[in-house]
Chains A and B, each alone.
Chain A
Amino acid sequence: MSAFRVEVRVMPRAALLDPQGQAVEHALHALGFGEVAQVRMGKHLVLEVTAATRDEALARARAMCDRLLANPVTEDYDVVVDGAAPR
């Protein structure tokens, strides 16, 4: 068994209004960063998961997202194990 560092990124569904992202975008424009558009804001969780293999850690983290970490109605997620993108 090894401990894997798992990063979970949870974002509001692309089709849904993201007022926090909009507020940040407006603030950036007010500061002169006019090149910014489409700011969206989500959550970033970092977990340590003990598993036999990297694939097992990935599968378990996905199960955690489906069960608790993301709401399938309002959010999308992706999972990265040990800094490398999942295959």
Chain B
Amino acid sequence: MKRVAVIVFPGSNCDADACTAARDAGSDAYFVWHRDATLRQADVVILPGGFSYGDYLRSGAIARFSPVMTAVAEHARAGGAVLGICNGFQILCEAGLLPGGLMRNARLRFLSRPAWVRVEQPDTPFTCLYERGEVLEIPIAHGDGRYVVEARTAAELEATGRVVWRYVRDNPNGSTNDIAGVTNAGHNVVGIMPHPERRNAPALGGQDGARVFLSMEARHATQHAVDVRARDGRHLRV
């Protein structure tokens, strides 16, 4: 059972859904307030969707300086798994833990509807139970979802398999190369614009998103994650 810290920022509104989805997958998930300095021996960190700090200045620009983000960056640097969903993806980009940035949707409208994404990279802690090429129906709900990245970095992401999900059928927001989610060089930090926590049970209209959370449990604990827990002052047996 993995320990999953769901960070709560002022303005987060998908924190309870993300926590429930992780628990449904068998994780020991709990909330961490953004002013806390410790992740309480987390194996996995989830930055949930919402509108942290009202999206003032830029989406995620202020949340990235919340006290807890120091611990999140340290966890990520040590190889610990981090998932940013929607606003969480925006925060990870603002924090420099993922490349690129998210700008206003190309057609300006806030979009709240199903979207279809293809799994491009199953080798991450959040996609290891998917097959490459699988197409998933997962809802989007965002105004600032257009993924933008310098051409050189985009080429590097493509060449090194760091595009994790790509929109298919249509590109809802004008994202570069139809990118819906990316990962860092170590494949331990992952950002996704759609909301897998909203599609993890038949009662929610489908369960294409469930394996994002089940993957966390399926993945073997890395040496890095153990190191992080030891550094937090208490060494937990996996």
Contacts and interface: CB of A to CB of B under 8 A. Distances in A.
Interface in B124-182: 146, 148-150, 174
B101 A17 contact: no
A68 B103 contact: no
A6 B150 CA distance: 30
A71 B104 contact: no
A68 B148 contact: no
Contact of A71 (B94, B99, B107, B146): B94
Interface stretch (B8-16, B18-26, B57-65, B225-233): B57-65
B106 interface: yes
B148 A74 contact: yes
Interface residues of B, number: 21
Nearest to A13: B148
A17 B57 contact: no
Contacts of B146: 17
Interface residues of A, number: 12
B107 A73 contact: no
Contacts of B100: 73
A45 to B, nearest CB: 9
Contacts of B108: 19-20, 23
Nearest to B149: A73
Contact of A69 (B57, B94, B106): B57
B57 A73 contact: no
Interface in B178-229: none
Given A17-B174, A73-B150, A74-B148, A68 B105 contact: no
Contacts of A43: 57
Chain A contact residues: helix, strand, loop or mixed: mixed
Interface string A26-49: 000000000000000001000000
Interface in B17-46: none
A16 B146 CA distance: 11
Given A16-B148, A17-B174, A73 B106 contact: no
Interface of A: 12, 16-17, 19-20, 23, 43, 68-69, 71, 73-74
27 contacts: A16-B103, A16-B148, A17-B103, A17-B106, A19-B104, A19-B105, A19-B106, A19-B107, A19-B108, A19-B174, A20-B104, A20-B108, A23-B108, A43-B57, A68-B57, A68-B62, A68-B65, A71-B94, A71-B101, A73-B93, A73-B99, A73-B100, A73-B149, A73-B150, A74-B101, A74-B103, A74-B148
Given A68-B61, A71-B101, 12 more contacts: A16-B103, A16-B148, A17-B106, A17-B146, A17-B174, A19-B107, A69-B57, A71-B61, A73-B148, A73-B149, A74-B103, A74-B148
